[in-house]
Chain A
Amino acid sequence: MSVKLNTRQVGDVSVVDVAGRITLGEGSSALRDTLREMVTKNQKKILLNLGDVSYIDSSGIGELVSGFTTVANSGGTLKLLNLTKRVKDLLQITKLYTVFDVHDDEASAVRSFA
């Protein structure tokens, strides 16, 4: 049970399409490694497309938070796109929904980085 990550560029925004389950183990560490690599490559505008994330546990939430902080500390911004109802509910009950900038449309999400 793991996660699939696909990275693409839309202008100067790096979009990471995440699919599967972000849970303790392979799933959360794959996301962590990808985000760290992007920060190392000085990518400042990162959009996580979580449209195909069916499931996230507290470790997965931890990785989102860690990614958010790491990117912010390097002077960049990490935003979220296309939350499923389940992921949105989880972020709401953990009071993280308002911490992240969440979008439901890719084009406007990309524009919002300007």
Chain B
Amino acid sequence: MTFLAGVIYSGHSTSRTILGSARGSARVTGNMPDLARHGSEAVERFLDSTLASVDHAEEIASGMAQLAGFDEDDLMKIGIAVREAVVNAVVHGNRYNANKKVRFSVVKNSERLTVRVADEGEGFDSEHLPDPLAPENLLRTSGRGIFLIRSFMDELEINRLRAGGTELVLIKYKLAK
């Protein structure tokens, strides 16, 4: 994944937008041509570990998904999946710690939308999560986040980061399968 050299610093000291756009309205330099040709666009933010960041991330992802041409149904699914991933990062990964950030990026190209959500937490055992559909778990009040992400996205990768923390990679393909 190539992030472009056009950097726009927003008013927030905690966020930085790296934006590559074929439309030319953003200031872009560097290795632009390939991504511009393929109509790609990328956004990256470092979000605070707050619930407001969940809304923010959902807005960014939904906006990109809309630009990518996903239909209403898919927009809703992407929005829910992204919310679940960022909630997990804020609540379980970073535990609302003001000193920890959620690295959030959305990349779109002609084939797919890829959302990455990384926290600075201690990681978790993704292989042995309780199954929320098992009868003994059905009435639990939590534990459905990862399941919903898998239900609504085409692919989910859960990576343990070497520097610590967890990264979720959510992919939705544009073409019908």
B57 to chain A, nearest CB (A): 13
CA of A94 to CA of B133 in the docked complex: distance in angstroms? 6
B51 near A99 with CB under 8 A, answer no
B141 near A62 with CB under 8 A, answer yes
* A interface majority secondary structure: helix
A24 near B51 with CB under 8 A, answer yes
A-B contact count (CB 8 A): 52
Nearest-neighbor residue (CB-CB) of B145 within chain A: A58
A65 near B140 with CB under 8 A, answer yes
- Which single member of B76, B87, B132, B142 contacts A86 (CB below 8 Å)? B76
Contact with A along B143-177 (1 / 0, CB 8 A): 01101100100000000000000000000000000
Chain B residues near A59: list those with CB within 8 A.
87, 142
Q: Which of A28-82 contact B (CB under 8 A)?
A: 55, 57-59, 61-63, 65-66, 68-69
CA of A68 to CA of B140 in the docked complex: distance in angstroms? 11
A45 to chain B, nearest CB (A): 20
- Which single member of B51, B84, B139 contacts A65 (CB below 8 Å)? B139
**B138 on interface, CB distance cutoff 8 Å:** yes
Chain A residues near B87: list those with CB within 8 A.
24, 57-59
B51 near A25 with CB under 8 A, answer yes
CA of A99 to CA of B137 in the docked complex: distance in angstroms? 12
A58 to chain B, nearest CB (A): 4
CA of A58 to CA of B144 in the docked complex: distance in angstroms? 6
**B54 on interface, CB distance cutoff 8 Å:** yes
Nearest-neighbor residue (CB-CB) of A64 within chain B: B141
B139 near A99 with CB under 8 A, answer yes
B54 near A24 with CB under 8 A, answer yes
Q: Which of A1-48 contact B (CB under 8 A)?
A: 1, 23-25
**B35 on interface, CB distance cutoff 8 Å:** no
B55 near A1 with CB under 8 A, answer yes
Chain A residues near B83: list those with CB within 8 A.
23, 57
CA of A24 to CA of B144 in the docked complex: distance in angstroms? 13
B152 to chain A, nearest CB (A): 9
A91 to chain B, nearest CB (A): 11
Interface pairs (19), CB distance under 8 Å: A24-B51, A25-B51, A57-B84, A58-B87, A58-B142, A58-B148, A59-B87, A62-B140, A62-B141, A62-B142, A62-B144, A66-B141, A68-B139, A69-B139, A93-B151, A94-B144, A94-B147, A94-B148, A99-B138
